[in-house]
A = this chain, B = another copy of it.
Amino acid sequence: MARIVLKFGGTSVADIDRIKNVARHVKREVDAGHDVAVVVSAMSGKTNELVGWCRAASPIHDAREYDAVVASGEQVTAGLLAITLQAMGVNARSWQGWQIAIKTDGAHGAARIQEIDAAEIVRRFADNQVAVIAGFQGIAPDNRIATLGRGGSDTSAVAVAAAIKADRCDIYTDVDGVYTTDPRIEPKARRMSRISFEEMLEMASLGAKVLQVRSVELAMVHKVRMFVRSSFEDPDAPGMGDFDNPPGTLICDEDEIVEQQVVTGIAYARDEAQISLRRVEDQPGVAAAIFGPLAEAGVNVDMIVQNISESGATTDMTFTVPAGDLQKATAVLETAKSAMRYEAIQSEQGLTKVSVIGVGMRSHTGVAATAFKALASRGINIRAITTSEIKISILIDGEYTELAVRALHSVYGLDKP
């Protein structure tokens, strides 16, 4: 007997039939004797509809009112799932954020969870009662509903798992696990059985949209084992209820992964834009002069490369931003041209960042060289490189995305069973 949190996203609860399917997943775990808490998102499309109404009412709106409106989506799903579970003979009740209470800070619209009083929920486990919890929301110090920002239900689930000291937090989604790379690009991509928090963080933030980055960070801090699995498989298919080895991907501490791969996955992010500032005066403080105003404007600067020019008196500064931020970034740079002391701006869109990820890199050399060779042999030009302890990111032209992903996936042997 274990204690688990099950989290279901919007597509998994999109209509009553799917909610009934979700209830079967829950019932399976209850019947196995586990203590079960469920965290649900709003029906898919619902949050967008509510957000759209807020914007239509006023483009600029009070985040506290936005929260009251938008949090209603999860409230509805939680109630409907509780009703469905009861109809299947499962003792269940819904909980809204303010009822538990899930206490957040006062940053309405993008609040952070500060404390969860899970005592009552845990007490009711003794009566085999399932707690069905509205995700994405809590209550702020002003006694008003606060939402955690888009995708916050994953974060709710991990926070609840930490609060009730769950053995695992199962994230049910529309894919059946985390793959070595995107299977739509590389059909030979394999589902990983385990991946470390650190690697998942890199995978998540680099474009593998399975999990919210925040939830993985939180799980890492509180050592909550997360498990990514599909809500669309038959809940009663063989193996689905195997607690120790269900189908999916476990995200866990590095220590739990016995045989560590050097490289565990290839991620990519399209729609990157590159900005180059030509002939920037090469003197102390110039980077701060450039990136300070961009940060203030909320532009998300990623890869930064600085080359010394031939003369030595000026330098070229190149960096990437999401394509959606390009216009804003260019405006900021042009406004501050005199302070930044550059001669010209060049920019380019339609780029892709491919990344090679693996905690094993820490103890292995030559990983980067292997990547560069693989890309070079296919005639793919490298525009920029950044590295961290456990990843290598390479900026390339977008049209080479699929080719590069497949080449890297193959060169590290990820397509072998």
Q: Which residues of chain A have a CB within 8 Å of any CB of chain B?
A: 16, 19-20, 50, 53-54, 56-58, 60-62, 64-69, 72-73, 75-76, 78-80, 82-84, 86-87, 93-94, 96, 98-99, 143-144
The closest CB in chain B to the CB of A60 belongs to B87
Query: Do A64 and B80 contact each other (CB < 8 Å), given the known contacts A58-B87, A98-B98?
Result: no
**Among B54, B72, B83, which residue has its beta carbon within 8 angstroms of that of A83?**
B54
A290: shortest Cβ distance to chain B, in Å? Answer: 36
**Among B62, B69, B96, which residue has its beta carbon within 8 angstroms of that of A68?**
B96
A64 / chain B contacts, CB cutoff of 8 Å: 93
A65 / chain B contacts, CB cutoff of 8 Å: 79-80, 82-83, 86, 93-94
**How many angstroms from the CA of A99 to the CA of B64 in the assembled complex?**
13
A69 / chain B contacts, CB cutoff of 8 Å: 75-76, 79-80, 83
A68 / chain B contacts, CB cutoff of 8 Å: 75, 78-79, 82, 94, 96
**How many angstroms from the CA of A83 to the CA of B87 in the assembled complex?**
38
The closest CB in chain B to the CB of A43 belongs to B53
A62 / chain B contacts, CB cutoff of 8 Å: 82-83, 86, 93
Contact (Cβ within 8 A) A84 B72: no
**How many angstroms from the CA of A67 to the CA of B96 in the assembled complex?**
12
A73 / chain B contacts, CB cutoff of 8 Å: 72
A53 / chain B contacts, CB cutoff of 8 Å: 16, 76, 80
A79 / chain B contacts, CB cutoff of 8 Å: 54, 65-69
**Among B19, B54, B58, B96, which residue has its beta carbon within 8 angstroms of that of A57?**
B19
Known: A65-B80, A68-B94. 8 other contacts (CB 8 A): A54-B80, A54-B83, A58-B83, A58-B87, A61-B86, A61-B87, A65-B79, A99-B143
**How many angstroms from the CA of A61 to the CA of B82 in the assembled complex?**
9
The closest CB in chain B to the CB of A88 belongs to B58
Contact (Cβ within 8 A) B83 A57: yes
The closest CB in chain B to the CB of A144 belongs to B99
**How many angstroms from the CA of A54 to the CA of B83 in the assembled complex?**
7
Contact (Cβ within 8 A) A84 B58: yes
A57 / chain B contacts, CB cutoff of 8 Å: 16, 19-20, 80, 83-84, 87
Query: Do A58 and B86 contact each other (CB < 8 Å), given the known contacts A68-B96, A93-B65?
Result: yes
The closest CB in chain B to the CB of A84 belongs to B57
A75: shortest Cβ distance to chain B, in Å? Answer: 5
**How many angstroms from the CA of A265 to the CA of B54 in the assembled complex?**
43
Q: List 30 A-B residue pairs with CB atoms under 8 Å apart, sorted by A's residue number.
A: A16-B53, A16-B56, A16-B57, A19-B57, A50-B76, A53-B76, A53-B80, A57-B80, A57-B84, A58-B83, A61-B86, A61-B87, A62-B93, A65-B79, A65-B82, A65-B83, A65-B86, A65-B93, A65-B94, A66-B79, A66-B83, A67-B79, A68-B79, A68-B94, A68-B96, A69-B76, A69-B79, A69-B83, A72-B76, A98-B98
A16 / chain B contacts, CB cutoff of 8 Å: 53, 56-57
Closest 7 CB pairs of A and B: A58-B87, A69-B79, A72-B72, A68-B79, A16-B56, A57-B83, A61-B83
